[in-house]
């Protein structure tokens, strides 16, 4: 699937980069981290919109592009992350939750993350991040089920109130609101990006535009893919001493207890 994303982006001159642990794997292991079972790609907003326009007609049979407003007839919320699915796969057995999301979240996939412009002033920056938190809270009102054990203290109340309000707002409206909040600073002069479609607990990550606007080609397994030109300061911000391997007991896949079936 990474090869297909790379092929499409090269064909249409779209800039992309490996993201998060996949980027770390490229730098430290020249491929996947042995115990990291995810693959992530990041786009700037402009490049993502270009990719979204062409990807459906370019993907081969057996792969599907899914946007966040395409679950359960556009009425359900899982998260704000677009994905490339490998259709002939099953990560876990079907359930009510899987059926609610049209069985799309049970496929092997690549997550597509988006960085949008973040204003530099402290007050306006806070407004942007708070707006994202509020919209995410509204969207949770359209989840299959909210796991309140993920939240503590005031956050649990915050989620309960916002999701309750969100139930009264049709998800297509909330989705348009999320896009508006994400792109509201696109024309402002700023040197910062932030992840607009991660969960709110990742809003602390602020990226310099010069890190993300250009990319560097590197070896990855038997291929060559792109990583952000500012990979070193990025990895230091997110992972600290990223060259140091974690303890043995932490070198396990996040979903190590999950059965994965591949059908072809």
> What confidence tens digit (pLDDT) does each residue in 131-186 have?
999 999 999 999 998 988 888 888 899 999 999 999 999 999 999 999 999 999 99
pLDDT at 94: 56
Query: Which tokens in the block code for residue 189?
Result: 């002069």
pTM over 0.75: yes
> How many domains is the chain built from?
1
Residue 116 has pLDDT above 70, yes or no: yes
Rounded to an integer, what distance in angstroms lies between the CA atom of residue 2 and that of residue 58? Answer: 13
- The range of the structural domain enclosing residue 38 comes to 2-262
Whether 253 and 36 have beta carbons less than 8 Å apart is answered as yes
Residue 28 to residues 11, 85, 184, 199: CA-CA distances in angstroms?
28, 26, 36, 26
Is the separation of the CB atoms in 4 and 60 below 8 Å?
Answer: yes
- Above 80 in pLDDT, residue 107? yes
Quick: pLDDT tens for 70-103. 998 999 999 999 999 998 887 765 577 777 777 7
Residues 128 and 186 sit within 8 Å (Cβ to Cβ) = no
**pLDDT-derived band of residue 126, with 50, 70 and 90 as boundaries?**
very high
pLDDT, tens digit (0-9, with 9 covering 90-100), for 188-233: 999 999 999 999 989 999 999 999 999 999 999 999 999 999 999 9
pLDDT at 46: 97
Long-range contacts of 122-127 (CB under 8 A, 24+ apart): 124/185
Q: How far from 76 is each of 2, 52, 141, CA to CA, in Å?
A: 27, 20, 9
């Amino acid at each position: 699937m990474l090869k297909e994303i790379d092929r499409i982006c090269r064909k249409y001159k779209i800039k992309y980069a490996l993201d998060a642990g996949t980027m770390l794997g490229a730098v430290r292991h020249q491929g996947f981290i042995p115990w990291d079972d995810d693959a992530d790609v990041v786009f700037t907003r402009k490049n993502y919109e270009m990719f979204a326009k062409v990807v459906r007609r370019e993907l081969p049979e057996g792969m599907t592009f899914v946007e966040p407003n395409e679950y359960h007839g556009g009425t359900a919320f899982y998260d704000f992350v677009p994905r490339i699915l490998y259709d002939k796969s099953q990560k876990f057995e079907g359930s009510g939750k899987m059926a609610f999301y049209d069985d799309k979240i049970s496929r092997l996939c690549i997550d597509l993350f988006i960085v949008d412009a973040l204003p530099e002033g402290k007050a306006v920056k806070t407004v942007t991040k708070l707006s994202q938190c509020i919209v995410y809270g509204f969207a949770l009102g359209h989840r299959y089920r909210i796991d309140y054990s993920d939240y503590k203290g005031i956050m649990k109340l915050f989620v309960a109130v916002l999701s309750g309000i969100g139930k009264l707002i049709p998800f297509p409206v909330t989705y348009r609101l999320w896009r508006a909040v994400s792109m509201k600073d696109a024309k402002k002069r700023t040197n910062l990006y932030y992840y607009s479609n991660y969960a709110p607990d990742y809003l602390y990550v602020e990226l310099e535009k010069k890190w993300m606007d250009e990319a560097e080609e590197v070896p990855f397994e038997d291929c060559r893919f792109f990583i952000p030109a500012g990979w070193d300061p990025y990895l230091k911000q997110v992972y600290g001493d990223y060259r140091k391997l974690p303890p043995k007991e932490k070198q396990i896949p996040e979903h190590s207890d999950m059965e994965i079936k591949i059908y072809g």
